[in-house]
Amino acid sequence: MTRSGSNLPSARTTTGDLTGAWDGDLAVFRGIPFVAPPVGDLRFAEPQPHPGWVGTRDAISGGPCSPQPASRLEPVMGRPDFEQDEDCLTLNIWAPPAGDGPYPVLLWIHGGGFITGAGSWPFYRGAELARSGRLVVVTTNYRLGALGYLYMRDLAGDKPGAANRGLLDQIAALRWVYNNIVAFGGDAEAITLAGQSAGGAAILAIMADAGARRLFKRAILQSPVAGPPTSIDLAAAICTELVDTLGISQSSAAELRNVRTDRLVEAQTLAIKKLARFGAPVAAIQQVADGTIIRGGLIKSACEAASSGIAVMAGTTCDEMNAFLMQEATRYCDRGQALTLLGAAGLSEFSESVFDRYSRSLPLESAAKVASAILTDRHFRIPTVEFVDAWSAAGGSAYLYRFDWKPKPDSQYGACHCIDIPVALNNLQDWQACPSRPVMLERCDPESFRGVSRSFQGAWVEFASSGRPEYPGLPFWPQYISSNPCSMQFNVHTRLDVDADGYLRDLWNGGIN
């Protein structure tokens, strides 16, 4: 990476030359295409190599995000201004000054249930993380919803992974970073994959791919949605719903390629509603167990990589499901309504006994908060603990955490899903500048925020640099092993808990499976 004649940062990649911009001492490159635009005949194709460009490409503005509906969490985390377009496969880079590197690299994959989100969103800006950690930070977009994960036999043909185009986009971005990041001062042999929610689930799937897992050394999984991927049969049923809504032939991939983008997004939304399960953290249109790139359960498949030397840091927030259940429709439910909600979430066989155990452990909380605690553990904490336990048992290095910090003591959302993102990125001002303000951060104490961000972001930086989250000021954080299942509890006063999740065995009547 060099300064161009106009004193702007420039870089030479395998697809062409780029000019970026300065953000203080950081070089910033936005909207870099890493594959060919997935438009026209490529709408449902696997990612194809970019043909490159002649001359120098301006990489100052972020690219549009994949077409999408409004997020379910928009009322909680806010909504940034953003453009949507199918020509969305771009990434963004924040790099420290050349000369002191090569620097460790962190590639972050956004969440949004595989339906919403974008690495180009302004409140996912990676500048402060790059600056604090002397890291090269990369964020990426990928195809969402039907564009990224619709399974249609006529579309898939015999091509491996064709049902998981969004996942293939992520792997293509990782491969581009591996092949090009040296031009930005990064170390291609020190790449950390980080992902939140659906992004964490994507990393589990990437780990299972033998070709992809050789491209990175470490992984940070924030609130990974580690439940089962969609089966081929359900994926085919979703496609039937969608094409019926559109009024086109069941077997005509050509017709589907020509549907207007807005109609496709509208039809996908209707199909998802018909097949939705209450409380599910991802929609029905998501990663598909196609027998090729995703061969079965995410945790079991990911643990095939445990002996490869990849180090893992994984954790959840304390009150994940508050982001979903503390919205107006469910915030004031009583015990009977809470049990109905749990039944709708697939817990009807033992919802009452589990609910009563949680109620006794949370005597001062509302029925909605009790239901939220149950679904938080069921969808997030239990799978995450199961993953680090299996990873460790298979010989991998793992560190477990829980994020307990909340912006104010009486926050109705608490330490909810997504609240750890601004803390890890240390970019509170970017979130507060959103046109639709994030109520999960309402009346946030800036001093408290800065304190927890120092330790949480510091652990990320140290882990990305060395594979060990040994940040000064944190208690000693041992690797997770089943005989010593320690978890770092991040809060204003961060502490290490030994057997912090033992309570789950009692609340779930002796087991957490």
Could you say which DSSP state residue 315 is in? Answer: E
Is the separation of the CB atoms in 345 and 277 below 8 Å?
yes
Ramachandran area for residue 115 (φ above 0: left; ψ -120 to 50: alpha; else beta): alpha
d(CA 137, CA 11): 15
Among residues 86, 128, 320, 462, which one is catalytic? 320
Strands 103-109, 486-490: pairing kind: unpaired
For 189, residues 6+ apart whose C-beta sits below 8 A from its C-beta are 217
DSSP string, 213-281: HTT-SEEEEES---SPPBPHHHHHHHHHHHHHHHT--TT-HHHHHTS-HHHHHHHHHHHHHHT--TT-S
Query: Using an 8 Å Cβ cutoff, are 191 and 320 in contact?
Result: no
**What tokens were used for 395?**
């010989």
Question: What are phi and psi for residue 493, nearest 5 degrees?
Answer: -115, 95
Q: Which of 50, 86, 417, 465 is catalytic?
A: 417
If DSSP codes are grouped into helix, strand and coil, which group holds residue 130?
helix
Q: What Å distances lie between residue 294 and 27, 74, 156, 168, CA to CA?
A: 36, 30, 14, 11
* Alpha helices for 426-476 (secondary structure H): 428-432, 446-466
For residues 189 and 129, give the distance between their C-alpha atoms in angstroms, rounded to a whole number: 20
Structure-token match 């990911």, residue found: 302
Indicate if the alpha-carbon torsion angle 252, 255, 257, 259 is positive or negative. Answer: negative
Q: At what angle do helices 367-376 and 351-361 cross, to 10 degrees?
A: 110
Catalytic residue among 10, 71, 120, 197, which?
A: 197
Cβ contacts of 391 within 8 Å, gap of 6 or more: 302, 303, 306, 312, 398
Q: Assess contact for 417 and 326: CB atoms under 8 A.
A: no
**Residues for the chain: how many in total?**
513
Q: Which residues contact 172 (CB under 8 A, 6 or more apart)?
A: 34, 35, 47, 89
Is 320 tagged catalytic? yes
- Just list the catalytic residues: 197, 320, 417
